[in-house]
Structure 1
Amino acid sequence: MNKTLENRFYYLDNFVTVVDSVRARYRHLLSLEEQAFVDGFGDLPQASAALLVRMVMRKGELFRFSKLRYDEIGCAASAAAPLIAAGWVEPRPLLDIGQLFRVLTKVEIAAAFPQLRQVARKSEQLDFLRQAEGGAAGVRSLEEWWPGAADSLLQLCEPVAALCDRLRLMFFGNLYQDWSEFVLSELGIFKYEQVDLSPAAQGFGSRQDIDDYLHLHACRERFLGGEELHAVVTDISAQPYPNPWLEERRGKLLFQVAQHYERNGELAPALRLYAGSSRPGARLRAIRVLERCGQPEAAFALAQQAEQQAESEAEQQQLLRVMPRLRRALGHPRLTPSAAVGIAQHEIALPQPAPGISVEQALSGHLACADAPARYVENALINSLFGLLFWDAVFTPVPGAFFHPFQSGPADLHSPDFRLRRAPQFEAGFALLRSGGYRQAILHNFRIKENTQSPFVFWGAIDAPLLAMALDCLPPRHLQLCFERILQDIKSNRSGLPDLIQFWPAEQRYRMIEVKGPGDRLQDNQIRWLDYFARHDIPVAVYYVQWTGESA
């Protein structure tokens, strides 16, 4: 049996792992009160520590004793006593009406307030009682609200709940991962690369970084919760953070709020936020908002600036569509477009496939033969070859990249300086492409890293025969060109690769094939890859498929 299933206190052990890790790596970033908590937690009786962790891992801060029943803990009242003595749990919390309704069932509400028995819905009961009580309701204990209550409450004190979120952030480096990561790993569902987590590679450099993250997270939760936008924006720092990782998060949040303003037709605040966001794409959105505001001169000036120093291929591609429109609006002469790069295109009619057979599978079956197998790989093959060759580079423990043992990739994967911070490791991989040692390195990592989580390797879509054919047929120069482009913009260029690859092993050659079914068209990121392949003489073709009739 799995050790997680055998150990009834597995969740407590996981929490202790987090506490011990934070105490060892970040003690200097904890306040005296926080240090007292991480030191004192280990002195609790096991049942008390387990009860606290159960409460931390559940939703909300109010808990009924009748719901705190765990065989391994035993009597909840006895387990809670040391927590109450430490001031971490409140035994008779004061509740407002809203909190009271959240902890009571509809039947219990009717028992506590007989006047509400004829009110159908719980929400209507709450509205009725608020109106009846007016401003005199205040806060009371459960026993004062309902003298006949057969249950009592515990409340996890807010400073303890906030500190546990802080500990989780310091351990995981984010707040979207939770305690289930331990279980998934121990059950063997996920396997992670073991990265050096020495102090030199720690994720947080200062307490301010942690405070800023928590503040941004709170602003984001308020935004997603529908709070008035101006109030949220006012609380977001107007100045860029010196920490690039946090600045990226600030830029993303400002961009999302600006999009919301734009969708609502509030163009002035949208434009202001786009101008203050460092997120890729913000400048292009600002250009379009200026157009909508009737300011083509300003839009044209900003677009010219972007042309001089485009932030990405995606922006360059969009500018090719925006600039002709702006030139027309301002009466500027039309520029002669540059000649398009030629890409082989084919139209083909195939029998309607059986249900469940995709257009890619249908074309693959039509084109493949014994001497020229075809595989449906889409983004999996090139990304996996990249990830296997540069495994050590991707998992280099530079500061701010790895926080805990459950990361599928570095936290700074999409940062502009991702490659620069690992320059020696990436250069070593490219040197293997030049020397011929890349094949051995890729196959070695395929064997020893099997099913280990990676942001690039698609374990379920690659196998040994596919890798062998790819390494036989794809020249190292073509691999280098593909890998260089991925590193130019990892977020954008990990996708958009052609659907199929066909090999001619006897001739050690191949071609990539983008497949479009009836009514489908090329997406922007696909167009950019196709253009790149054509410019560098990498064999690629686009097949437009039509159906000849229904399947039998």
Structure 2
Amino acid sequence: MPNDTPDPLYYLRNFERALAWLAERYADLLDDAERAFLDDFARLPEASRALLTRMVMRKGTLFRTGRLVYREIGCPLAAARPLVAAGWVDANALLTLDELFDLSTRVELLACFRGELAGAKSARKQEWLALLRDSHADARPYSEWHAQADEQVLRVSVAPLCERLRLMFFGNLQQDWSEFVLADLGVYQYEPVAFAASSRAFQKRGDIDIYLALHACSDTLGELETLAATGNDPTTETLFDALLSAVDEISTENAWLAMRREKLFYRIGYCAERHRRWDTATAIYARCAWPGARHRRIRALELAGRVQEALTLALQAASLPESEEESQRVARMLPRLQRQTGVSARSVRSAPQASRDRRAAVSADAHAVPRSMLTLARPIEAASVEYVVLDHLREQDAPVYYVENALISSLCGLLCWEPVFAALPGAFFHPFQRGPADLHAPDFYTKRAAMFDACLAQLDDETGNRYRETILRHFESKAGRQSPFVFWGLMTRELLDLALDCLPAAHLKLFCARLLRDVRANRSGLPDLIRFWPRERRYELIEVKGPGDRLQDNQVRWLAYCVQHGIPVRVLDVRWADSVDGESDDNMARAPEAIA
């Protein structure tokens, strides 16, 4: 009979699977210490391997033996002895006062510092720490801090090495070993990907060092972002200079690491803006290739008082915009910059006619979106305005669903499943990825253009069967698997059938083409509701705006796109029946401005 009893050492088996994966795929990048760890770990007693794995999978590097009680391991001190002998664990670790506080309860600290804390028993732990820090600057073994303690503190000396192995396995430091457990329990299901050697996250050992250097710079940036939130500090310019110098020293030929570096530059520039250091921000954006850096630079130039430079750069962007988003933002900036420089709009009409026509078309299409007002009774209980409208519009022969960005994204993801999960270099590094690592990279679509085009060509089939069969097949065979496009919690067979019956293939192709062209910018902004008329095999998209709510830029772009291509869409402004006249009139007055 099969044994259904869960393996109490499941976490050890998972860790050993990860180590075997690394030994197979990264043998050429391991140094002597890492190779020795892989070899020596396998020779340790099982209890010792389990104890180290438990500690490695937990937060921090310091552990009290009294808190390492696991039935399958037994005595933690006995299990730790081979680890201590290997130099991987320190059983007599010196603890600073701060580390002691992290490991101790209030009761234990009061017992340890009874005399010194006698007059401050009700204070917070942080206040105790500040009170004691000057008189307890030396690090000591745990037994000297707690003379009566009957346990020891273990420090995992090999933790940095294990962190590096975790990075090599996942290709990032956001995921941890719990991914194995969640997958084993069926909480998450992942698409199997055929990994080639070129699919590794790191091709050279130096790539790992570069990732860690970028990660350290990101941590430093986090400190600057905290300072921006709490108020400006005179030392921030020095911090910015040091951070930029550190990033400048990082050079890589690895495409996805280079992309991370550019994104880091963009974040640094944005942080400089938050600190109102406009010249610093403009200098950073000038060297940054991350999408959106140019229009951020224009804004920073304007705020720095360098308006003529801002206008010149804005005209360049208007002539050859990098994206719809930039075109939209620059079109809004130009009139203001022209006023500030005293330049008339007529005198700067040097931009190519095609660019001007494109901006004019987006503006005209946005204004052409059908828009109406709906007055409803204010709900007695708190409810989102979208669901209030849904309940009002829903009819037996015309069902309405709140789908926002999920339906179109899911249909696209189901149709194009294979290209999304193609094992291209820089896309998939390990078995626990929700989607490709380069999903938001500027070249995501172009690298897979032939595969995506083949999928979208199914929508040209006049019989309408090929794309339906593909979507339905993936809906059944891939059910529940992680995807950056498919929202399994929303997608039911009923909704899927309605969508396939009522959305023309030509419209679905238009949706997919725009979404895939720029996933980062276009995966959001779609209308809130979809209404179907199954008997007539038609549909309508509805963007709901409650009192005082305005259309966002990405929503305006999607609405304009729909109007341009004859996709049925409208904006529904909602006001409550018990609102004062001034409130509803104000909403009416703001709506056209929001579209503009």
The TM-score, its normalising length taken from structure 1, stands at 0.92
Secondary structure, counterpart of 1:397 in structure 2: coil
Q: Which residue of 1 aligns with 2:503?
A: 474
Asked whether 1:527 is paired with 2:553, we answer no
Contact 1:119 1:125 in 2 (8 A): no
Provide closer, same or farther for how the CA distance between residues 539 and 48 of structure 1 changes in structure 2, counting only shifts above 3 A.
same
Pick the aligned partner of 1:518 from 525, 533, 547: 547
The CA distance in 2 between the partners of 1:239 and 1:214, in whole Å, is 11
* Post-superposition offset of 1:334: 2.6
Q: Which residue of 1 aligns with 2:129?
A: 126
Where structure 1 has 5 or more consecutive residues not aligned to the other structure, the ranges are none
Q: How does 1:246-261 map to 2 (within 5 A)?
A: 246-261=257-272
The CA distance in 1 between the partners of 2:380 and 2:489, in whole Å, is 24
Q: Which residue of 2 aligns with 1:423?
A: 449
Contact 1:4 1:187 in 2 (8 A): no
Please identify, of 458-467 and 94-103, the stretch whose mean Cα deviation from structure 2 is larger: 94-103
Q: Which residue of 2 aligns with 1:547?
A: 576
Secondary structure, counterpart of 1:191 in structure 2: coil
Please identify, of 376-385 and 300-309, the stretch whose mean Cα deviation from structure 2 is larger: 300-309
* Post-superposition offset of 1:431: 1.9
Provide closer, same or farther for how the CA distance between residues 132 and 501 of structure 1 changes in structure 2, counting only shifts above 3 A.
closer
Q: Which residue of 2 aligns with 1:381?
A: 407
* Post-superposition offset of 1:496: 0.7
The CA distance in 2 between the partners of 1:66 and 1:320, in whole Å, is 65
The CA distance in 2 between the partners of 1:25 and 1:210, in whole Å, is 14
Contact 1:4 1:183 in 2 (8 A): no
Q: Which residue of 2 aligns with 1:84?
A: 84
Q: Which residue of 2 aligns with 1:268?
A: 279
The CA distance in 1 between the partners of 2:61 and 2:280, in whole Å, is 37
Provide closer, same or farther for how the CA distance between residues 165 and 239 of structure 1 changes in structure 2, counting only shifts above 3 A.
closer
Q: How does 1:74-473 map to 2 (within 5 A)?
A: 74-120=74-120, 121=123, 122-132=125-135, 137-145=137-145, 147-157=147-157, 160-225=158-223, 229-230=239-240, 231-237=242-248, 241-335=252-346, 338=360, 340-341=364-365, 342-435=368-461, 436=464, 437-473=466-502
Asked whether 1:509 is paired with 2:573, we answer no
Provide closer, same or farther for how the CA distance between residues 187 and 370 of structure 1 changes in structure 2, counting only shifts above 3 A.
same
The CA distance in 1 between the partners of 2:69 and 2:191, in whole Å, is 37
Provide closer, same or farther for how the CA distance between residues 369 and 26 of structure 1 changes in structure 2, counting only shifts above 3 A.
same
Contact 2:213 2:250 in 1 (8 A): no
Please identify, of 198-207 and 529-538, the stretch whose mean Cα deviation from structure 2 is larger: 198-207
Contact 1:497 1:529 in 2 (8 A): yes
Q: Which residue of 2 aligns with 1:19?
A: 19
Please identify, of 374-383 and 440-449, the stretch whose mean Cα deviation from structure 2 is larger: 374-383
Contact 2:543 2:570 in 1 (8 A): yes
Please identify, of 354-363 and 253-262, the stretch whose mean Cα deviation from structure 2 is larger: 354-363
The CA distance in 2 between the partners of 1:430 and 1:174, in whole Å, is 32
The CA distance in 2 between the partners of 1:240 and 1:326, in whole Å, is 36
Identity rate of aligned residues, in percent? 49
Contact 1:116 1:125 in 2 (8 A): no
Secondary structure, counterpart of 2:364 in structure 1: coil
Q: How does 1:23-102 map to 2 (within 5 A)?
A: 23-102=23-102
Please identify, of 515-524 and 243-252, the stretch whose mean Cα deviation from structure 2 is larger: 243-252
The letter for the 2-side match of 1:92 is N
Secondary structure, counterpart of 1:543 in structure 2: strand
The TM-score, its normalising length taken from structure 2, stands at 0.86
Secondary structure, counterpart of 2:94 in structure 1: coil
The CA distance in 1 between the partners of 2:382 and 2:143, in whole Å, is 60
The CA distance in 1 between the partners of 2:21 and 2:140, in whole Å, is 40
The letter for the 2-side match of 1:233 is L
Deviations 1:470-490 (CA, angstroms, capped at 9, x unpaired): 222222211111111011210
The letter for the 2-side match of 1:75 is C
* Post-superposition offset of 1:99: 2.7
* Post-superposition offset of 1:549: 4.2
Deviations 1:182-208 (CA, angstroms, capped at 9, x unpaired): 222222221111111232422222212
Provide closer, same or farther for how the CA distance between residues 95 and 314 of structure 1 changes in structure 2, counting only shifts above 3 A.
same
The letter for the 2-side match of 1:191 is Q
* Post-superposition offset of 1:148: 4.7
* Post-superposition offset of 1:278: 2.4
Provide closer, same or farther for how the CA distance between residues 65 and 504 of structure 1 changes in structure 2, counting only shifts above 3 A.
closer
Provide closer, same or farther for how the CA distance between residues 106 and 474 of structure 1 changes in structure 2, counting only shifts above 3 A.
closer
Contact 1:4 1:10 in 2 (8 A): no
Provide closer, same or farther for how the CA distance between residues 443 and 265 of structure 1 changes in structure 2, counting only shifts above 3 A.
same
Secondary structure, counterpart of 2:530 in structure 1: strand
Provide closer, same or farther for how the CA distance between residues 32 and 469 of structure 1 changes in structure 2, counting only shifts above 3 A.
same
* Post-superposition offset of 1:4: 10
The letter for the 1-side match of 2:560 is D
Please identify, of 239-248 and 169-178, the stretch whose mean Cα deviation from structure 2 is larger: 239-248
The CA distance in 2 between the partners of 1:205 and 1:470, in whole Å, is 44
Contact 2:207 2:252 in 1 (8 A): no
Deviations 1:307-345 (CA, angstroms, capped at 9, x unpaired): 222222111111111011111111111359836121111
Provide closer, same or farther for how the CA distance between residues 104 and 541 of structure 1 changes in structure 2, counting only shifts above 3 A.
closer
The CA distance in 2 between the partners of 1:18 and 1:303, in whole Å, is 50
Secondary structure, counterpart of 2:290 in structure 1: coil
The CA distance in 1 between the partners of 2:188 and 2:63, in whole Å, is 32
The letter for the 2-side match of 1:541 is R
The CA distance in 1 between the partners of 2:184 and 2:88, in whole Å, is 30
Deviations 1:380-421 (CA, angstroms, capped at 9, x unpaired): 111111000000111111122112222111111111111222
The CA distance in 1 between the partners of 2:184 and 2:403, in whole Å, is 31
The CA distance in 2 between the partners of 1:211 and 1:479, in whole Å, is 44
* Post-superposition offset of 1:23: 0.9
Secondary structure, counterpart of 1:347 in structure 2: strand
Deviations 1:447-476 (CA, angstroms, capped at 9, x unpaired): 111111111111111222222222222222
Q: How many residues align?
A: 544
* Post-superposition offset of 1:43: 1.1
The CA distance in 2 between the partners of 1:12 and 1:43, in whole Å, is 14
* Post-superposition offset of 1:149: 4.2
Secondary structure, counterpart of 1:279 in structure 2: coil
Contact 2:210 2:250 in 1 (8 A): no
Deviations 1:293-320 (CA, angstroms, capped at 9, x unpaired): 1111111122122222222211111111
* Post-superposition offset of 1:526: 0.5
* Post-superposition offset of 1:110: 4.3
